[in-house]
Amino acid sequence: MQSRSLSRRSVLASATVVAAGVTGLAAGAPAAAHGRDKRLRKIVGSMSLEAKVGQLFVPYFYGASATSPSEADQERNLRELGVRTVAELVAKYHLGGVILFSGWTNNIHDPRQVAELTNGVQRASLALPTPVPCLISIDQEHGANVRIGSGATQLPGAMALGAGGSLSDARTAGRISGTELAALGIHQNFAPVADVNVNPANPIINIRSFGADPGEVGRMVAAQVTGYQRAGVVACAKHFPGHGDTGQDSHTELPVITHTREEWDRVDAPPFRAAIAAGVDSIMTAHLQVPALDPSNDPATLSPTILQGVLRGELGFDGVIVTDALNMAGVRTKYGDDRVPVLALKAGADQLLFPPDIDVAYHAVLAAVRDGEITEERLDESVLRILRVKDKVGLLDGSPFTSPREVDRVVGARSHRIAADRIAERTTTLLVHEDRTLPLRRGQRKLLVVGASPAFPTDDTRSTVPELAAEFEALGFRTTHLVTGRTPDAAAIDAAVAAARGRDAVVVTTDNVGPASAQRTLVSRLLAAGVPVVHLAVRNPYDIAHLDGVRASLASYCWTEVELRAAARVISGRVDPRGTLPVPVQRADDPARVLFPAGHGLSYRR
């Protein structure tokens, strides 16, 4: 416990800040023209109370079709949501939005299917008594958090972009992603992450953050906000008031941020100030306690002091406040599922994301308004904010539908993929380079790729080691591969050492190496085998602190195809490594000391 505290504090002490100042209302906050607001208020005035309450909710649903999902998905919807289809869900609760997920909800298969799904949702929304299109949302952060994989352009995630250090690249990545999402009929992306990852043990933010320097994170966040919103997508800076210094996951418990008010102002606040200055349309709350901001110790999502006092009052944000998912344990530890949405709305939230029971949540808010606990004027404020962003992205003018032609033209476009590859190549970071191990020389054609092999975020049939081997094959190497996993046993390690014999070089991947990790033994045994070893950290750049004797080590900051392709090109010498660490790496034996500072990164040319 003491070493973790020292590590966290040492990073806090070394963080440099270039805060983006905000005077009065944020530049770009939706201070809409009088004429537009007058038109939107007329829409609000035409809504029933039930329709207004429905505008607040953004639930999940099962199925790849709005009206005819599979029988299994209909059964899941009926069991958990009380309806068979999302079209019925929209109609029953007058929904203002829905959120799409890959995998477990079966919402996403390929771009054309997604476009037809979003069109089906919009057809349902236009059939309501007050026909207001849905704001369809997604978590397409890229890197470790990807919802739309196959067919769409994959881009480097936040920490990789932080390693690249280019505001232009961050802005371009946001624009490409936003352009493709808009073509699919998705107009709200819960990105970018504005948390400052000053705790290497952070289990939930980590590589989803741009880095450990608040000023640099702020600049990258502002660039991404600009890229997304110029593409016609509502960006969302998250997770306010800052989730970067926690050792707990708010999905499973209620974390506590122990920063003083001064530390919060210096470390956590700058990226949110920068996002507001850039005109961000929405900000997502965090389910965590920050005693320095609110001594009541309510989760920030339910805290009027934090949402109204700090976010709206001090920071001047007048856009849409969206809760993090209301099914997470962090927001459910103190109050029941009928109280959480009511308290979130009273605290200042506008959009209520992913309630665990939509029927309970919807009727709880409806009852709170009818009973006077929440005034209809307060409800109207949130509905108006939501309508403003819908109007801004064009959902209230003309047709909210997309077309197969637009999907084919935009999603996964060749120019987008080329840009993504070039951006990724500028992010791969060379941490250790001794004995001229890299780049691999012309005679080193027989290659073994071995190690940890995380599954791709959107396709668990594909994983890192075989995909990295395939990238080397495409570059002319003769590769074999062996997956040993995050916890290799003695047999797996022996097999890896045996496979290394006769190879010209070994590339070993690691994923979250710790002091007791068997991955350390794997790397040590491979180093002793007498074959040149290249280490690639495919998640955290902190792995190298636990790997003694490595002569060539790189960080890719994620394991998706675009990052693996870039890493293979760097290792093979097709491109020079240009990335630099956006976080410091502490020594494993003395976490109060820095092994590699932020900004460290080597090149073959120097």
Report the DSSP beta bridge partners of residue 508: 450, 535
Phi, psi values for residue 391, rounded to 5°: -70, -40
Spatial distance between the Cα atoms of 70 and 74, rounded to a whole number of angstroms = 6
Residue 251 annotated to the active site: yes
User: In the structure encoding, which two tokens stand for residue 82, read together?
Assistant: 């009380």
Maximal C-alpha separation, the chain: 78
The one-letter code for the residue type at 127 is A
Conformation bin of residue 342: beta by default, left when phi > 0, alpha when psi is -120 to 50: alpha
Q: Which of 251, 459, 504, 600 is catalytic?
A: 251
Question: Is residue 298 within 8 Å of residue 289, measured between CB atoms?
Answer: yes
Whether 589 is a known active-site residue: answer: no
Rg, C-alpha atoms of the chain:
24
CA-CA distances (angstroms) from residue 115 to 136, 180, 227, 234, 529?
Answer: 11, 11, 22, 18, 52
Phi first, then psi, for residue 354 (nearest 5°) are: 55, 55
Structure-token match 């094959």, residue found: 473
Token code pair at residue 409: 């033209």
- Say which of 298, 318, 324, 391 is annotated catalytic: 324
Whether the Cβ atoms of residue 387 and residue 396 lie closer than 8 Å to each other: yes
List the structure tokens of 76.
Answer: 């899941």
Q: Are strands 478-483 and 320-322 parallel, antiparallel or unpaired?
A: unpaired
**H runs (alpha helix) in 441-560:** 464-474, 490-500, 518-528
In degrees rounded to 5, what are phi and psi of residue 480? Answer: -120, 160
- The Cα-based distances of 593 to 123, 554, 584, 585 in angstroms read 58, 21, 10, 9
Place of tokens 């990335």: 579
**Which of the residues are catalytic?**
251, 324
